[in-house]
Chain A
Amino acid sequence: MWRWHNSGRNGTVAVPRAAWLTESQLLALLIAGLLLIRLALYGWLAGGVAALPTALCHWDCDWYRGVAVDGYARHPKTALDATFGQASWAFFPVYPGLIAGTARVLGVSALVAAIGVANAALCVFAFIATKYLRLVSPAASGPALAIFLFAFPYSFFLSLPYSESVYAALAMAAFWCLASRRTLAASGVAAVLSATRVTGVLLTPAIAWPYLLAMWRALRRGDRGAAGNAFAAALLPVGLAPLGLFLFMLYLYIHTGDGLAFLHIQRAWNRAGGDPIMALWQGLTQFDLFSFKPRAGESQTLNVLCAVAGLSLSAWLLVRRRYAETWFLALSIVIPASHGLDSLARYTLAQPLFMVFLFDAIAAARSRLLFWGVIGLSVPLQLFLVRLWMQHYAFLH
């Protein structure tokens, strides 16, 4: 009853296909299997599955858990310790909201719920990514992309109690809707995305772009009626896309008195707005790649090199005329860089579009050896990074 279904570009990956299963069902099974293998390996690294939640919860995890359990504080922290002056307002509400809801419905701890939500979102992200890539790169192999996403070294962040995977799933869903010309659906997803992380709001110009283009073309041919129609049609999608961010701002304004508290509170982490180009240049010229102490802090040079890789991929997307993706990926790197280089490696390498189009670039080489070579190198590297994460190596933070 099993037959081999070759959906890969030049046969990159061949998976057995049962006649009674649809391709989507088979893909879902593959993703579930990959997740089980990943969690089993992580559990092994943590010394047991029961120890896994605690082993994975470091740094921002406590903030998300705090918001899920206690909600947002009205004032910054006043205890005279390292967190003095900081507040949870920098952590957007969708992920902690999902944690709180899951913990209440399933009757589990907030930490278990945080890991459950993150890994469920990882599966959704992997599934939608295959659908999206099939639209923009028809020869791409869904199963191969799923394997790549689970193997990619920095994709371990999508299994951590961080908002990365929820953000990735929502961003991918929004781009899938855009690619399949369901603009209003894309706007609805973008609204939720903008309440997941501030860079989610970057989808709004991408959603507005086709309408602006239609208006411009109508005006060029002197058709004011068509231009007016395009303007009117743009109002709801453009108004809807950033709604999540503005609702969060309204909440913060009522709760703390400062609607931009999510931005202003960055000061307590020594993140101040500045010139991203200068910041990237200064980081690059630190030359601390071999001298930084990975247990104590980050390498600015490594962070910048990751950002440069992300920007290079953006340039490749621009050449391919994927304008919305170019905009979103490039700005998702440049905006955090304007507030400092900390965590820039994570912001770039765990970016959903970065991972998907890195796979597409590798698949474009049409080499089965290259693909499996990358997977063969990625898996041990990812496990190594997870081990370091569990040991509190601050350069990953």
Chain B
Amino acid sequence: MPSCTDPAPRAAVLLAALGLVLLLGELGVLGLSLFHPRVDAYYRSYYITGDRNCWLQDGQAKAAITDLLAARIEVAALSPHVACFLLDGGWSDMEKWGVWSDGRVASLELPVLAGSQRLEVTLIAFSPRDRQSVAVFLNGVAAGRYFVSSRQVSTLALAVPPGAAGNLLVSFRIRHPAAPSFSGRLTTNGGSVSA
């Protein structure tokens, strides 16, 4: 019967121990990667969680937002990456004139200066009926429900919540999302509100 001092069993034990060390080390690397990535919020929201449709490097994002402060922001006039950065979620692909919402809720993340009181949003709604019902939320708080004429440029005047500075989340909740198409029928692409 082999004893634990025999070379063959000892080698087998050493090899098994080496294998165990490797497996534990690999589990450690996997755990670090899954549960403790050392990345900024922008990277996380685009690459890891998929909450955003685009990514800007931390410095780039801050510079882009600073440039936009207190200015009139026209989504179609921005570079695609900056525009995409402002379109927080619920939007279709960018087009030359702007972008359609996609689904029931679409959100914009807009930079605002401290002390800002008024926000104007210009949009085009689409509905197979005459009007589209849109509820607007600012930083998650209801700011009103609007009935926006279909296929016409409309402007919504909104009161910026007191104390809002930095990024303001503007969400549109569309009651009956419908998609325009060139043939006049509904399709699954596009949406009901354009920015």
Contacts and interface: CB of A to CB of B under 8 A. Distances in A.
B29 A249 contact: yes
Interface string B1-39: 000000000001101101111110110011011100111
A84 B83 CA distance: 14
Interface string A252-268: 11001111110011011
Interface stretch (A28-36, A237-245, A293-301, A366-374): A237-245
Interface residues of A, number: 33
A85 interface: yes
B18 A258 contact: no
Given A253-B32, A258-B48, A236 B39 contact: no
A76 B60 CA distance: 12
A267 B33 contact: no
A253 B33 contact: yes
Contacts of B55: 76, 85, 268
Contacts of B43: 258
B57 A259 contact: no
A259 B29 contact: yes
A225 B46 CA distance: 50
Given A239-B26, A250-B29, A253-B32, A75 B57 contact: yes
Interface residues of B, number: 32
Contacts of A258: 33, 37-39, 43, 47-48
A260 B33 contact: yes
Contacts of A268: 47, 55
A87 to B, nearest CB: 10
Contact of A240 (B19, B29, B57): B19
B50 A267 contact: yes
Contact of A236 (B15, B25, B34, B54): B15
B29 A233 contact: no
Contacts, number: 90
B145 interface: no
A23 B131 CA distance: 82
A286 to B, nearest CB: 15
Given A75-B57, A257-B39, A259-B37, A246 B20 contact: no
Nearest to A272: B50
Given A232-B12, A264-B48, A78 B60 contact: yes
B38 A246 contact: no
A237 B16 CA distance: 9
Contacts of B20: 235, 239
A259 B31 CA distance: 9
A80 interface: yes
A76 B57 contact: yes
B183 interface: no
Contacts of A259: 29-30, 32-34, 37
B175 interface: no
Contacts of B188: none
Contact of B22 (A80, A232, A236): A236
Given A85-B54, A258-B47, A258-B48, A238 B19 contact: yes
The 9 A-B pairs of least Cβ separation, nearest first, read A259-B33, A235-B19, A239-B22, A236-B19, A257-B38, A239-B19, A264-B47, A232-B16, A239-B23
11 contacts: A75-B57, A76-B57, A235-B19, A235-B23, A239-B20, A243-B22, A257-B38, A258-B48, A259-B34, A267-B46, A268-B55
Interface of A: 75-76, 78, 80, 84-85, 232-240, 242-243, 246, 249-250, 252-253, 256-261, 264-265, 267-268, 272
Given A235-B18, A249-B29, 6 more contacts: A237-B19, A257-B38, A259-B29, A260-B34, A260-B48, A264-B47
